[in-house]
Amino acid sequence: MQAPWLWVVFTIVAAGAQTLRNAMQRELIGTLGSVGATQVRFLFGLPFGVAFLILVRLGTGAPFPALESKVVLWTIFGAVAQIVATALMLAAMRERSFVVAIAYIKTETVQVALFALVFLGERPTPGLILAIITATAGVLLMSWRKPVAGVENSWKPAILGLIGATFFAFAAIGFRAAITGVATPSFVMAASSVLVLGLAIQTLLLLAYLSAIDRAAMLAILGAWRSSLFAGFMGALSSQFWYLAFALTTTARVRTLALIEVIFAQLVSLRMFREGVSRNELIGMSLIVIAVVVLINS
């Protein structure tokens, strides 16, 4: 029997690892482009995903499960959605600060709750609804900026971020449906199996795309293998823990708690990119913390 709070630990670890991966990918955008930096997450994450699966097999003794067509189709849906979402997120990062781009992306929580209800029949509780509203308000407050005289405000990063959030919501729904559909008593084996399948699909799709459209980016990826390796490891690690959390609780609960990534992003932004903290960001982070407390205790 699993501890009822285990999904909370998995989600926090996943959010921390994802923040570091996003920071590394942002650094790679200049040399690899948005699609190339997206591929780094999958190409270099796949070997680590396979390693995680082997360790799970050895550690639990659970056999590798046979993946039914429904599981494969949901994984393909989630994998493609995640590719699109990641590329849009990185494109948004080119337009605005690291924290603001992440804040736009994290508006996915409301969409996740809606899609989970429609596709998976996961009904949100009153406490979850309150947490979603509070956390989303905090995220939107963090992303708001006063107009600056002589500087034209562009809607492009907001549009990129919001559409990216939709695709991240689709990805979460797809992977949650795939993981819960795996025929195995081990939730760890289910999560690890879908992770490897998803990474393999994403790697092959982007390899085909880059080989046909942008071979120079493919060569650049190989040239930046040292920094890409860390991004790949963090990508695989974050996905592993996201999927473990998805195996234990509803998609909306996981993605709402995942909003603490915005706070992690602020810390990384201060450390790596020297981007300051505004009053709105402090208030927004406080609202997110309140929402997390409400969520965990609901």
Helix axis angle for 156-181 and 187-213, nearest 10°, is 130
Helix/strand/coil percent split, the chain, to 5: 80, 0, 20
Q: What CA–CA distance (Å, rounded) separates 163 from 58?
A: 40
Radius of gyration (C-alpha) of the chain in whole angstroms: 18
Per-residue pLDDT tens for 66-98?
A: 999 999 999 999 999 999 988 888 777 766 556
Q: Parse the chain into domains and list their residue ranges.
A: 6-296
Maximum CA extent, the chain: 64
Cβ–Cβ under 8 Å, residues 230 and 24? yes
Joined together, the tokens standing for residue 187 give 């939730």
Q: What is the pLDDT along the chain (298 residues), one digit of tens a residue?
A: 567 789 999 999 999 998 888 777 777 777 777 778 788 889 999 999 999 999 999 999 999 999 999 999 999 999 999 999 888 887 777 665 566 666 677 778 888 888 888 888 888 888 888 988 888 888 777 766 655 444 445 567 778 878 888 999 999 999 999 999 999 999 999 999 999 999 999 999 999 988 888 888 888 888 877 878 888 899 899 999 999 999 999 998 998 888 888 778 777 766 655 555 677 777 877 887 788 778 777 6
What's the confidence (pLDDT) of residue 96? Answer: 58
Per-residue pLDDT tens for 115-157?
A: 888 888 888 888 888 988 888 888 777 766 655 444 445 567 7
Alpha-carbon distances of 228 from 17, 207, 269, rounded to whole Å? 14, 15, 19
Of 39, 35, 56, 25, residue with least CA distance to 241: 56
What's the confidence (pLDDT) of residue 143? Answer: 65
What's the confidence (pLDDT) of residue 152? Answer: 46
What's the confidence (pLDDT) of residue 1? Answer: 57
Joined together, the tokens standing for residue 110 give 């409301």
Cβ–Cβ under 8 Å, residues 227 and 24? yes
Those residues whose C-beta lies under 8 Å from the C-beta of residue 116, and which sit 6 or more positions away, are 122, 124, 173, 176, 250, 251, 252
3-state secondary structure of 79: helix
